[in-house]
Chain A
Amino acid sequence: MANFLEAVLGQYNNWAFIILLMIGIYAMIAKNNLLKKVIGMAIFQSAIILFYVSVSLKKGATIPIIAHGHGHDHGAVAHAIDAASYANPLPHVLMLTAIVVGVATLGVALAIVQKVNRVYGTIEEDEILEKIKE
């Protein structure tokens, strides 16, 4: 029982990832206000980023920057590098791109929300649907 509890609770990063993912998708589907839907989309994105950064973690590792990487011995690194003592930097770089793309999609979504507000005078979904029917 204790082993099971530790196995379930020990992966708290994954549980937080699942909870944030569900919060985001709930907001995108069930919220009535368009701005709340966009906030849900941003939460969904950062939940995915949380999952990828969790993958890059290692036990007993440090940040992926090599100390004294720029030595005086003409570029060659004098000491051997132990890859297991650094966090994996590949998911970090991928998620860096994802953050920038996420802000671009956020800007487009908010521009569309403002355009909807200018045309229909409201950003509540039910009121917009009523005005489309008229």
Chain B
Amino acid sequence: MEVNSWVLWQFDVLILLMVVVCAVVALQLKDLVSSAITFGAYSFFMCILWTEMLAVDVAFTEAAVGAGVSTILFLGTALHVKRRAKD
């Protein structure tokens, strides 16, 4: 049942569930700014997932670049355009 031996597989499944939930919520929210922030949370959960999948170098790159830079890029764009999305 286990993919990785030094963490519980329950923790693995919990993080994967949170990743999927954050992806769905980021796409369903009508407000683009909260959508961008939820996408930042998605990147942060991905970063935790890389850490417990033994890819520490990928994890800190994702934390700096994914959760940091791309959230700021999304926020900058969301504040420039009309904030309400139709879908």
Spell out A's residues near B (CB within 8 Å).
6, 9-13, 16, 19-20, 23-24, 27, 31-33, 35-36, 38-40, 42-43, 46, 49-50, 53-54, 56-57, 59-65, 87, 89, 91-93, 95-96, 99-100, 103, 106-107, 110, 113-114, 117, 122-124
B1-20 CB contacts (< 8 Å) to partner A: 1-6, 9, 12-13, 16, 19-20
Residue of B nearest to A92 (CB): B55
A contact patch SS: helix
> Contact between A114 and B77 (Cβ–Cβ < 8 Å)?
yes
Given known pairs A43-B23, A54-B3, A63-B54, the reply for A100 and B78 (CB within 8 Å) is: no
User: In the complex, A56 Cα to B14 Cα: how many Å?
Assistant: 21
Q: Give A28 Cβ to nearest chain B Cβ, in Å.
A: 10
